[in-house]
Structure 1
Amino acid sequence: MSEHSVSVAIIGGGFSGIAAAKKLHEAGTSFLVLEARERLGGRVFTKQFDQGYYLDFGGQWIGPTQDWMYELCHELDVNYFETYNQGKNILNLGEKLKTYRGTIPKLDLFSLLNLDWLIRKLEKLARQIDPKAPWNHPKAKEWDSQHLDEFLRKHSKTSACYKVIRVGCETIFACDPDQVSLLHGLFYIRSGTSLDCLINVKGGAQEHRIKGGMQTLVEAMAKPFLNQIRLESPVTTISYTHSGVTILGKGFSVYADKVILAVPPPLLAQISFSPALPSQKLQLLHNYPMGRVAKCFMIYEMPFWRELGFSGQSVSDDKTPFQTLYDCSPADASKGILMGFVVGSRAEQFFFLEKNDRKVKMEAILTRYFGEKAKEAIEYQEFSMIDEAWSKGCYAALMQPHAWTDFQDAYRSPLPPLYFAGTEAATKWHGYIEGAVLAGESAAMEILAAIHHD
């Protein structure tokens, strides 16, 4: 059995754990990162293919107000480029296709006015939320006791309005809107700047992609301290006192003064703690499911839809498996790649099919959207974070109704010598890579302050 002794152990080698490690490295503090996978990145996963292209199976975008992500790109000389956003988008509603430009789909006038009003209403309410303490709002209990879907249904005066806003929410939250509370929805919108920012490509959270894939950035962050990272090392047991922590896994033990836990909540719940975590933390962990999202990719020799005047983007009601489509071709357009998001109950239904049936279904949808050239794909790929053993889902864990008001900040609250990171601990850009980085840095800074105080 290998044994290590460090000042800080970091459980999880995703963006949050590596951001924490970067801070500790810069401060000259000894640490060891323990990552269960054979790679870095966590819920970010870029796969390189022999045919000369790559796919981002996990998180892939950055956008305005995600200041830390852009700073990291500039500091580490990692290039980014604009998501392709030119041409016509497609709306598939009630099995009828329409094209539109911009963010808001083309609906009848009353539905369009209703949709605009509903978006503004959600934004107005979200601006009232303190992202550091959403439970303090005067209506917190009321909003936390109802599903987001109840609110959407109540204020959607037409079926078209409801279907479009529902698709938007499914894509943003990675779940059906009856799986989170209205309060969580408002917190999430506030945390991500605004609903406009969350849904937009240009000027929004999907504006830029990383050249070579998002995993390139986390690997660049980790390059100076690769010898302080241990891969394929899942942690099974953590014993802690005020004087230190003993961490055990198959074939290794680590003693540390302090530990940062930067893994998805369902995985944190699987670690055996001695003494047990406080009851509030434990109760939340056992009722803190991950979002459910898969990505399906059709790869072509070139992005032919661009020549036809299409952006590659689409929005669809539940008549298709895909809530949305995006052009995910590389910056040089050396391949044409269309990616479909399959979220929530649609993902569960779609992945009951055999893989070849899923490919056939996607090809049929793309042919209907973009014509016969869509049948000329060179490859079909897919990835479901739901089935990924060390993620259990994506983008983030979901606060169920009553969770915010019952548990408040129980998840992110430190329990020295234990400190909690991951995007779920973020109050800004919660659920996004930016939030993961901020939470990791925050945990590292708390530890550095505690070490200095000691």
Structure 2
Amino acid sequence: MNHPKTEVLIIGAGFSGLAAAKKLYENHTSFLLLEARDRLGGRVYTKRFEDFYLDFGGQWIGPTQDRMYELCRENGVEFFETYNSGKNIIDLRQRIKTYRGVIPKLNLFALLNLDWMMRKMQRMANSISLHAPWTHAKAKAWDKMTLEEFLRNNTRSNDAYTVIRVGCETIFACDPKDLSLLHALFYIRSGTSLDCLINIKNGAQQHRIKGGMQHLAEKMAERFAEQIHFNSPVKNIQKTETGNRVSGEGFEWDCKQIILAVPPPLLSEIDFLPELSPEKTQLLKNYPMGRVGKCFMIYDKPFWREMGFSGQSVADESVPFQTLFDCSPADGSKGILMGFTIGSRADSFFTQTKEERKQQMEAVLVRYFGDKARNHSQYEDFTMTDETWSRGCYAALMQPGNWTAWQDAYRKSEGNIHFAGTEAAERWHGYIEGAVLAGELAAEKCLASKEKTESEIML
């Protein structure tokens, strides 16, 4: 029986799969892009309403994310500054204070301890190799230790501990006990610096995409839209004499090479024949996704700006949200506040009904901004943890011991099967930029293999 054929089959139409497809398209290489969802974007998801949109998934870009800015320019997609003017709020022990800038208002001892901690983490991160973090002289000790243990061992002030913990939860999308210190340091180095990861101005949250991040994904895909098949989850990948056979419900394709650009937990649900390497298989058994909920309260206008507030907050576990951000559209035609609920806070928050979740967010916003916060027009929330084809966000987390045990097992190609997604990235690991870089690298491997095969045929 003859099956339809293509040179490269890409699985997953998030930014990594799209970046791979774009490079193959530009190099005149035949490919097909299979997507299990009914939309583009993967862990980027812009939900459009009648007169506004919400980014339920990834939404920011910032300095040193060069490919994302290039993609915006190439596709005529505009970006704008994240709102960052006015007073920020810190909510500790049921007491609310305001501050300006990045560092919250704390007592002198807490500030000194926080500054010392951040400098220490940055020095340690600077010593990590992006290509091979497991080669560091202290790799085994740092990989055995959780980030939580490190924070506890190095903070002398409860307030300093709370603030840096909230920052880490927001950066890594988990409780600090859920990942190794080595992975945290690699992640910081991968994302340029700790300052870059936590900042809006000159940081990873500096810009947003007009129309939402999914708009950029859709523009990228326009030239090769006919080569994208939606609602096509892959069930089986089988090696053949000439390459691979990829199949799912209602389809079978033969291809010479494969790019897998899906969240790591989903790889375990594909039947590979032969199986993936023991190293990759073992890693996938203990490679969970981050847990994040994004909660939005929508108003007719961003009233907090008139009150001199930025819309940003940092809070301890007395409230469900580690942080708040102003996510209003560029023209301020709506006022939108977004709260991040992460890790164990998210686990607890999403056991409640949507109405209860809305009431909790309203109560927090009334405490921060007064009775005007009651005059909302709509509440929405979303967690990628509940999405079948994501299982979490922002990225999969290297557990204690994983880096030193399995090293770069996830990134490595296996024959003519290549692995993309932000988890395969060395630079900007965990971010959309990393997803793009990993997708482009996987496509380059396919092109190099194709060129080698053609050369051998000519000889």
Q: Which range, TM-score by smaller chain?
A: over 0.9
Runs of 4+ aligned residues of structure 1 deviating over 6 Å after TM superposition are none
2:12 partner amino acid: G
What is aligned with 1:31? 31
Q: TM-score, normalised by structure 2?
A: 0.98
1:29 partner amino acid: T
1:15 partner amino acid: F
Whole-angstrom distance in 2 between the partners of 1:288 and 1:166:
22
Whole-angstrom distance in 1 between the partners of 2:199 and 2:130:
21
Q: Verify: 1:419 aligned to 2:407, yes or no.
A: no
Whole-angstrom distance in 1 between the partners of 2:242 and 2:263:
26
1:16 partner amino acid: S
Q: Verify: 1:451 aligned to 2:450, yes or no.
A: yes
Q: Verify: 1:301 aligned to 2:300, yes or no.
A: yes
2:251 partner amino acid: F
1:412 partner amino acid: R
Q: How far apart are 1:240 and its partner, in Å?
A: 1.5
Assess, with a 3 A threshold, how the Cα gap between structure 1 residues 151 and 242 changes in structure 2: closer, same or farther. Answer: farther
Q: What SS does structure 1 have at the residue aligned with 2:176?
A: coil
Q: How far apart are 1:2 and its partner, in Å?
A: 11
Q: How many residues align?
A: 453
Q: How far apart are 1:5 and its partner, in Å?
A: 0.8
Report if the CA contact (8 A) 1:16-1:421 is conserved.
yes
Whole-angstrom distance in 2 between the partners of 1:284 and 1:107:
41
Pairs within 5 Å for 1:151-166 = 151-166=150-165
Report if the CA contact (8 A) 1:2-1:253 is conserved.
no
What is aligned with 1:94? 93
Q: Verify: 1:191 aligned to 2:219, yes or no.
A: no
Pairs within 5 Å for 1:39-438 = 39-50=39-50, 52-241=51-240, 243-438=242-437
1:284 partner amino acid: L
Whole-angstrom distance in 1 between the partners of 2:239 and 2:46:
35
Deviates more, 1:352-361 or 1:437-446: 352-361
1:288 partner amino acid: Y
Report if the CA contact (8 A) 1:2-1:252 is conserved.
no
Assess, with a 3 A threshold, how the Cα gap between structure 1 residues 115 and 2 changes in structure 2: closer, same or farther. Answer: farther
Unaligned segments of structure 2, at least 5 residues: 454-459
Q: How far apart are 1:453 and its partner, in Å?
A: 1.1
Whole-angstrom distance in 1 between the partners of 2:241 and 2:333:
55
Pairs within 5 Å for 1:5-20 = 5-20=5-20
Unaligned segments of structure 1, at least 5 residues: none
1:102 partner amino acid: G
Whole-angstrom distance in 2 between the partners of 1:293 and 1:2:
45
* 1:61-117 deviation per Cα after TM superposition (whole angstroms, max 9, x unaligned): 000000000001011110000000000000001110000011110000000010011
Q: What SS does structure 2 have at the residue aligned with 1:369?
A: helix
Whole-angstrom distance in 2 between the partners of 1:230 and 1:11:
10
* 1:263-282 deviation per Cα after TM superposition (whole angstroms, max 9, x unaligned): 00000111000001011100
Whole-angstrom distance in 2 between the partners of 1:95 and 1:221:
46
Whole-angstrom distance in 2 between the partners of 1:46 and 1:313:
21
Whole-angstrom distance in 2 between the partners of 1:110 and 1:49:
47
Report if the CA contact (8 A) 1:295-1:339 is conserved.
yes
1:49 partner amino acid: F
1:9 partner amino acid: L
2:315 partner amino acid: S
Deviates more, 1:242-251 or 1:155-164: 242-251
Whole-angstrom distance in 1 between the partners of 2:79 and 2:285:
38
Whole-angstrom distance in 2 between the partners of 1:3 and 1:378:
53
Whole-angstrom distance in 2 between the partners of 1:102 and 1:153:
25
Whole-angstrom distance in 1 between the partners of 2:262 and 2:225:
19
Whole-angstrom distance in 1 between the partners of 2:119 and 2:240:
49
Q: How far apart are 1:4 and its partner, in Å?
A: 2.7
Whole-angstrom distance in 2 between the partners of 1:32 and 1:351:
37
